[in-house]
Amino acid sequence: EVQLVQSGAEVKKAGESLKISCKASGYSFSTSWIGWVRQMPGRGLEWMAIVYPADSDTRYSPSFQGQVTISVDKAINTAYLQWSSLQASDTAIYYCIRWSQCAYWGQGALVTVSS
């Protein structure tokens, strides 16, 4: 069974850094895309970044290029999303997804950034 288990909710201040994680199991980690999707309160789903662990092919949505960094640790089947300087507008739920012709979802992680 595919499982994506994300790190917990975070409360941060504007300007702080943050790294959230997603541990995958139940499938071959290296040979599926894994990425992150943002959902702001009451809004739709926005793709942010995605990586193919086998060859480190990394893609960023133009809306998020330069704003976040995606990375993986193949040794522990874990993907990460990192911010160097959070803004209040980063307040949202962040979902980890495995993409293999469709998305398999983590449970989501609420990130709250206060100004």
Partner 1 sequence: QSVLTQPPSVSAAPGQKVTISCSGSSSNIGKNYVSWYQQLPGTAPKLLIYENNKRPSGIPDRFSGSKSGTSATLGITGLQTGDEADYFCGTWDSSLSAGPVFGGGTKLTVL
Q: Does 53 bind partner 1 (CB under 8 A)?
A: no
Smallest distance from partner 1 to CB 11, Å: 18
Q: Does 45 bind partner 1 (CB under 8 A)?
A: yes
Given 46, 67, 71, 80, the residue binding partner 1 (CB under 8 A):
46
Beta strands in the chain (DSSP E): 3-6, 10-13, 18-25, 33-39, 46-52, 57-60, 69-73, 78-83, 92-99, 103-105, 109-114
Given 79, 97, 111, 113, the residue binding partner 1 (CB under 8 A):
97
Contact 36, 49 (CB under 8 A): yes
Q: Does 94 bind partner 1 (CB under 8 A)?
A: no
3-state DSSP call for residue 81? Answer: strand
Smallest distance from partner 1 to CB 75, Å: 25
